[in-house]
């Protein structure tokens, strides 16, 4: 991208954004016993009430997740998937629950590629039922409840059922998502009926009471019968009829064979802290740890948070991680993901050695591993009074997923097929490129950036981190951890601090509006192309103060979250 053009864009953005910078962050929320942090206030309050009523962090997570299906339906729902990180205080055990969607068994490697032009057919992987992968969220909730929940399954769904039945007032964020997605949503009759006034082309806006009777009945049935009802019942038959009528790919066997997977977490170290995060098919855990460990030898505190020197090193680490992501990462049930190699000390030293101080590097591809052959989301964090921790990231992919609501059930369906490499080297919705490791295959889970992360110190809980934001999830989590561990910010300051992002392709440093002009000039002088972008991600994090043991919560000021506790 032309350097002069970039600079002009920056100057214009500065003028347009003058006066829009954040005020100083408020104090973090504080609690003695337990806390829920979510970008959606109603869901957070319901989660805390479950904890007050004797439930544990798992129970609260299920209740929050069910509520978000109603109040934050643009980000997550039972028609999508999730990744969950759990810390069990009683045993010290840390588990990663993979509730990621799977490609239909009828999927083909080139299902979205035009046979003549060999180019990707627009829209098929992002809109309508052709974009839908087999949902995994209900099965993931079921497995954590059966193994570690304490309250009855149906009790945890009652608040969500009531909210869907009686309605809630659309928030500012919900209204913004509706307006942004209106051209997609209006195409589908069941979606249009829910979100648009009769004979109007603009959706309902802030303050409108959104009543979802069909969704209430769906959630009530799921609560009464259990998650098995989602995968084998009259509901499943109705869903398959709807999908097949509209040229989708799901079959009865896809639902019969779906199983969540309990995996071993990714583990790394930064300063004196242990970092545990999600393994493949999430790329998040590997690259959160990669970036932090590449930065470990540098005295970032000397240069300070937000300086061009610190951001330069951070960006150089991001480039290398995302180049590796594009080449090596995929579903470990289908490809060999070299986890140990990517996190090997000598390998990371080699990546670090190529980082030139004060000069941007041109990364042509991934690092060389000896012996190796070859997205809209929500996140919430919970800690209960016993010290159990949950980092929960769920997604439909883009806003409102496929934009399709299943008639009669009020359920949004995902568009996670777009997270595969539709054609190697061709960017997806988020501009990410991939290789054969993430190519479409029947029953395969697509690569994800969701990065629910747990931090421990001396074997004790220290923090819970996560965010929505597509590929920017990874860099948001890294920067929030750096802000607390390296720069000593409280958790609210850490989630609010302006962010940067680099994902290798395109070779551009994206910066939020509050990054100073002096910093941007410093990055340009080092050879970086810089683009001043909108604010992104919505980190929802918990930090346990080491001196006092107080639980502190940070809910990102970029959205309308809440961090209640007691």
Looking at residue 371, its pLDDT comes to 53
Q: Cα separation of 383 and 462, whole Å?
A: 11
Catalytically active residues, by annotation: 377
Q: What is the pLDDT of residues 401-452, one digit of tens each?
A: 999 999 999 999 999 999 998 876 677 666 666 667 899 999 999 999 999 9
Mean pLDDT of the chain: 92
Q: Cα separation of 381 and 556, whole Å?
A: 12
Instruction: Kindly state the tokens that stand for 451.
Output: 């990065």
Q: What is the pLDDT of residues 529-542, one digit of tens each?
A: 999 988 778 999 99
Which of 99, 103, 101 has its CA nearest to residue 65? 99
Q: Cα separation of 37 and 383, whole Å?
A: 9
Which of 283, 317, 291, 288 has its CA nearest to residue 435? 283
Average pLDDT over residues 536-564: 94
Looking at residue 425, its pLDDT comes to 65
Looking at residue 510, its pLDDT comes to 95
Higher pLDDT, 366 or 39: 39
- pTM recorded for the entire structure: 0.92
Looking at residue 118, its pLDDT comes to 85
- For residue 57, pLDDT over 60 is answered with yes
Looking at residue 436, its pLDDT comes to 79
Q: What is the pLDDT of residues 231-250, one digit of tens each?
A: 999 999 999 999 999 999 99
Where b means 16+ CB within 10 Å and e means fewer, 362-391 reads ebeebbebeeeeebbbbbbbbbbbebbbbb
- For residue 8, pLDDT over 60 is answered with no
Looking at residue 534, its pLDDT comes to 82
Three-class SS state of 43:
helix
- For residue 327, pLDDT over 90 is answered with no
Looking at residue 269, its pLDDT comes to 97
Q: Cα separation of 438 and 446, whole Å?
A: 7
Domain ranges of the chain: 3-15+263-374+449-555, 36-259+377-438
- For residue 18, pLDDT over 60 is answered with no
- CATH architecture, range 3-15+263-374+449-555: Orthogonal Bundle (1.10)
Instruction: Kindly state the tokens that stand for 389.
Output: 């921790």
């Amino acid at each position: 991208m032309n350097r002069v053009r970039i600079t002009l864009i920056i100057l214009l953005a500065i003028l347009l954004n003058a006066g829009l910078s954040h005020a100083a962050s408020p104090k973090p929320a504080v609690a003695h016993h337990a806390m829920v942090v979510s970008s959606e206030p109603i869901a957070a309050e319901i989660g805390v009430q479950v904890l007050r009523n004797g439930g544990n962090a798992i129970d609260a997570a299920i209740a929050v997740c069910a509520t978000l299906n109603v109040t934050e339906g643009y980000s997550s729902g039972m028609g999508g998937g999730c990744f969950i990180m759990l810390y069990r205080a009683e045993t010290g055990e840390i588990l990663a629950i993979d509730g990621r969607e799977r490609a239909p068994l009828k999927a083909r490697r080139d299902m979205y590629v035009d046979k003549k032009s060999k180019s990707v057919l627009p829209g098929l992987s992002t809109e309508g039922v052709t974009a839908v992968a087999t949902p995994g969220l209900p099965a993931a909730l079921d497995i954590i409840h059966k193994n570690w929940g304490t309250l009855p399954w149906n009790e945890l769904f009652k608040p969500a059922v009531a909210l869907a039945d009686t309605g809630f007032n659309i928030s500012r964020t919900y209204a913004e998502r509706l307006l942004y997605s209106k051209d997609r949503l209006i195409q589908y009759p069941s979606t249009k009926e829910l979100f648009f006034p009769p004979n109007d082309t603009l959706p309902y806006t802030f303050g409108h009471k959104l009543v979802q009777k069909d969704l209430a009945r769906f959630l009530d049935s799921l609560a009464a019968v259990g998650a098995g009802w989602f995968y084998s019942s009259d509901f499943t038959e109705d869903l398959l009829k709807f999908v097949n009528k509209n040229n989708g790919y799901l079959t009865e066997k896809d639902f019969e064979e779906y199983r969540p997977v309990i995996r071993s977490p990714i583990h790394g170290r930064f300063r004196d802290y242990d970092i545990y995060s999600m393994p493949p098919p999430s790329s998040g855990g590997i690259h959160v740890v990669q970036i932090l460990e590449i930065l470990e030898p540098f005295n970032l505190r000397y240069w300070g948070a937000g300086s061009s020197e610190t951001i330069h090193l951070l960006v150089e680490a991001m480039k290398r991680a995302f180049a590796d992501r594009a080449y090596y990462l995929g579903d470990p049930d289908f490809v060999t993901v070299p986890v140990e190699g990517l996190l090997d000390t000598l390998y990371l030293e080699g990546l670090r050695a190529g980082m030139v101080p004060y000069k941007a590097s041109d990364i042509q591809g991934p690092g060389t591993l000896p012996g190796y052959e070859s997205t809209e989301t929500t996140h919430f964090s919970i800690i209960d009074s016993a010290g159990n921790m949950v980092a929960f990231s769920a997604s439909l992919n883009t806003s409102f997923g496929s934009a399709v609501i299943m008639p009669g059930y009020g359920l949004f369906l995902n568009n996670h097929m777009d997270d595969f490499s539709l054609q190697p080297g061709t960017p997806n919705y988020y501009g990410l490129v991939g290789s054969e490791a993430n190519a479409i295959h029947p029953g395969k889970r697509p690569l994800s950036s969701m990065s629910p992360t747990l931090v421990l110190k001396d074997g004790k809980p220290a923090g819970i981190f996560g965010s929505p934001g597509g590929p920017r999830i990874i860099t948001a989590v890294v920067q929030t951890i750096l802000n607390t561990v390296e720069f000593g910010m409280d958790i609210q300051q850490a989630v609010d601090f302006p962010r940067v992002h680099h994902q290798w392709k395109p070779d551009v440093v994206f910066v939020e509006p509050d990054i100073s002009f002096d910093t941007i000039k410093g990055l340009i002088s080092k050879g970086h192309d810089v683009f001043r972008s909108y604010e992104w991600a919505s980190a929802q994090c918990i930090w346990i103060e080491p001196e006092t043991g107080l639980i502190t919560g940070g809910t990102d000021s970029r959205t309308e979250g809440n961090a209640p506790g007691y």
